[in-house]
Amino acid sequence: MPWYLDRSVLGATALATVNSTRDRLHAEHGTESPGRVVAGLSFGFWRGLFDRKNEDLWIRCLHRAFPTGDGRRRSISAALSGLHPFRNRLAHHEPIFHLPDAALDRRRHEIAIVSDALSPPTSPRGLTRPIERQAFVNTSHQPPRSPEPPRAFTFTGVCAGGQRGLVGRRTPWFGLRGTGVR
């Protein structure tokens, strides 16, 4: 049984979200696969896994997905909660260039918290360097500088002790791009 159907892993609300995603996949494709189910789950679903009501899930499994973090669910939850509306703005192509530098710095800091908790920075500058405004507004009519390559890794076996673990790939926006279950 895939982890996303295991009642001992997910609560009733999360299971309802998974079942809704599965129903949608059956309606659209006539079938489902673990990869499509995981990919079809919203950012809000993943953020919700780190809410206070899922503290036991953090203790049992999820903390293993963040080996270099501070070990507190609250840190990841706060960062994801701050990023959720920002991510939605970006996903809906809303402009962000008008936001104050302090707001952009805060979002970047939240990205760094989650990203660096997933894996250590590969660059000494990491994601914590200050945001340069010209990265958002390019008035020079020259192509923008190429960014550092995104850090990505594959993780497996987040839930130990015979439980099925998450299998996915972290992208620069730290979303899980599911490739199935193990």
Mark 111-146 as b/e (b = at least 16 C-beta within 10 Å).
bbbbbbbbeeeeeeeebeeebeeeeeeeeeeeeeee
Domain presence at residue 127: no
pLDDT at 140: 46
Per the prediction, the chain carries an average pLDDT of 75
Domain presence at residue 139: no
pLDDT digits (tens, 9 = 90+) for 81-117: 999 999 999 999 999 888 899 999 999 999 989 988 8
Q: What is the total count of domains within the chain?
A: 1
Domain presence at residue 170: yes
Of residues 1 and 155, more confidence is placed in: 1
What domain range is 68 assigned to? 3-118+150-181
Indicate the pTM of the whole model: 0.63
Domain presence at residue 141: no
